[in-house]
Amino acid sequence: AELVSFFLLLVVAGYETTTHLLTHALCMLAKHPELIARLRAEPAVIPAFVDEVLRYEPVAHGTLRLALADSVVGGVKIPAGSPVMLLLGSACRDEQYAENPDRFDIDRRQHGSISFGHGVHFCLGAALARAEARIALEELLPHVRGIRLAGEPTWNLSLTVRGPLACTMEFER
């Protein structure tokens, strides 16, 4: 039962997060149309683009943990056993993590990624998610000259995973 439950978690988590990652990537291309030509001309840059999308607009915005020991974080005492909400979306925009964090820059020098968590909690599907996004963009971009948002996306209300419920786009061939 535990194995089946874990398998279902992986399927659902991998589907929803990858769908949102691809949508975030397409939204960034709509907002930065000059990148379409660059990524078409330099497909080797697509992984850096995907990593910057993950940093700038991480799909997993937060995750819940339980403090195992008394701790102090940012001057705040956290007793053992306390639930803690880790805000990955905020951490990805922290000035200590990225210079000019509110600027989308695919030429940014990455210092590792915290979009997929860290340590024993690092996402099991991180490599697969990156590969799926890279392959999707490599297949799509040769056929697309422009992407336009046809209206504002409607966002979900989840505390942990951020993505659009609806996002209509128009593609120029």
Count H helices and E strands in the chain, helices first: 5, 8
| Averaged pLDDT for residues 152-172 | 91
Does the pTM surpass 0.85? The reply is yes
Instruction: Evaluate if residue 28 carries a pLDDT over 90.
Output: yes
Confidence label for 83 from pLDDT (cuts 50, 70 and 90): very high
Q: Please give the pLDDT value at position 155.
A: 92
Q: pLDDT tens digits, residue range 52-77?
A: 999 999 998 888 899 999 999 989 99
Q: pLDDT tens digits, residue range 107-146?
A: 998 766 788 888 888 888 888 899 999 999 999 999 999 9
Question: CA separation (Å) from 71 to 62, 67, 100, 127?
Answer: 19, 8, 30, 32
